[in-house]
Chain A
Amino acid sequence: MKLEIKGLSKEFFLHQWVRKIEGFRDVSFAVDKGECFGIFGQSGSGKSSLIRCIYRTYIPTKGEIWYESREGKVNLATLPEYDVLKLRKEEIGYVSQFLRVVPRVSAVDVVAEPLIKRGLPVEEARAAASSLLERFLIPENLFDSYPSTFSGGELQRVNLARALITKFNLLLLDEPTASLDEGMKQIVTEMLREEKDRGATIICISHDASFLNALADRVGVMKGGRMVEILEEVP
């Protein structure tokens, strides 16, 4: 198994109000290499908290997250920060629901940045970024603009392009198609299928049953902070 989650829970403690808030409780599932695991459920059911724990933006309260990295099996729940950063650079990508754009960086450079960080020559990285933006149907005259001026759908595509350019082994996607129209959704589905075909493992949150059915091999349904069932297909 590429990723195996065992009894994972997340609880927030708000000191100011001396109050506990439950994110999700006792979630377990496993995902194989080249497999897409969908997560379906109402807002507030704990979906985003779950994948933020896997990315370690949140610190899990309990449980284990076993990930098969290039250098062996690690528990992401307790992995030292510096090792988490290394995995984020090389193996694990996260596409958030809300893109926080890097100020004063053009769209093509936002997408090229992960490649440049890995040591690819700047021109080569920008060329790869441009061709990926083209596939996402971003108009060429926007390549050199700042994404802060983009529409929601354009931003989401820039965000996805930035994650896909790196060829990550594990992709964590939070509502990747929320602001996209049907045609664009088709293109994204196709591109994510290609990621699976090259062996990437994907965990994808979505409200969109038809999108999940087209992409996911199995779907975990979340309700009230629990993963209540795991289905082959969303009804």
Chain B
Amino acid sequence: MDCDCLLRVVDMAKIFGDGCPYCLELTDDEHNICPRCGSIVGCAEISFEIMPNEILGIVGESGSGKSTILKTLYFDLEPTKGAAYLNCYEGDIFKANSQDKRWLRNFKIGMVYQNPEPGLVMDITAGGNIAEKLLAAGWRDVGKIRERASGLLKRMEIPVVRMDEITRNFSGGMQQRVQIAKALANNPEILLLDELTTGLDVSVQARILDLIKEIQRELNIAILLVTHDLGVIRLMAERTIVMRNGRIVEYGLTDQILEDPQHEYTQLLVNSEV
């Protein structure tokens, strides 16, 4: 890769539905439903770079395609178009074979879902959830696995005595922290965070955001942070992408986005903040 960035996404698009040759041409940041075939353009013309050790924010209202970007980068969804390059991998990661994709998911990319359900197995223990990830990465020594799992849970401020409790019993904030611990298990280079603190009460939100900042500094990890909350963006991200109806309408330094927004939609968004 010819730049010093960690991840480079080039002209990525994801269309939900059958799609037709006119989907991208006939949609924009005002309308994301193709008038010819009725397909929904989840995201399109998505290009950005993220540097090592950077927190990049993606902000926009629900349905603007933020989560679609994360899910595509984590291979949960297959992109309709575009390419993505990680500096540890030769070539387009979307074109990787399934074995390589598994390797990337296990070692290089960590994902924390908005809803803990897809990220955690609820009927097994918190420790078991982390063990699953370590086993997938080839760990075999039970003692070492338990040691790593308890270390991660402790780092996420989950009492080690609860390590063997089933995950379903945990509160929402704790489940989010177990998810983060799991995502960090194999020291990924980039962490994808989807509405991490949405629906949590304010003090829990604050604690989780503080933890993320500390971890980012400790592990020198890059973070792609999706949120609809401008306060979270202001606190966490140095650069920000603004999305609307699947398109990027503006990107820039976070303070510039918030104080000198250029696009009509960003101006509306910033002025709507309570």
Contacts and interface: CB of A to CB of B under 8 A. Distances in A.
A57 B260 contact: yes
Given A82-B51, A104-B206, A16 B256 contact: no
Interface string A115-128: 01100000000000
Interface in A93-133: 100, 102-104, 116-117
Given A14-B267, A57-B253, A85-B253, A52 B259 contact: yes
23 contacts: A14-B267, A15-B263, A15-B264, A15-B267, A15-B268, A16-B264, A16-B268, A16-B271, A56-B253, A56-B256, A57-B255, A57-B259, A57-B260, A58-B256, A58-B259, A58-B260, A59-B262, A81-B239, A81-B253, A102-B235, A103-B235, A104-B206, A116-B217
The interface residues of chain B, by DSSP majority, are classed as helix
A201 to B, nearest CB: 21
B256 A59 contact: yes
Interface residues of A, number: 20
B261 to A, nearest CB: 9
Given A16-B267, A57-B259, 9 more contacts: A15-B268, A58-B260, A59-B262, A81-B239, A85-B238, A85-B253, A103-B206, A116-B217, A117-B217
A29 interface: no
Interface of B: 51, 206, 210, 217, 234-235, 238-239, 252-253, 255-256, 259-260, 262-264, 267-268, 271
Interface of A: 12-16, 52, 56-59, 81-82, 84-85, 100, 102-104, 116-117
A12 B235 contact: no
Nearest to A15: B264
Contacts, number: 44
Nearest to B265: A15
A116 B91 CA distance: 36
Contact of A59 (B235, B239, B260): B260
Contacts of B217: 116-117
Contact of A81 (B206, B252, B262): B252
A20 B235 CA distance: 30
A102 B264 CA distance: 28
B213 to A, nearest CB: 10
Contacts of B206: 103-104
A82 B56 CA distance: 11
Contacts of A12: 260
B264 A85 contact: no
A102 to B, nearest CB: 7
B86 to A, nearest CB: 18
Sort A-B residue pairs by CB-CB distance and give the 6 closest, nearest first: A15-B264, A58-B260, A57-B255, A81-B253, A57-B259, A85-B238
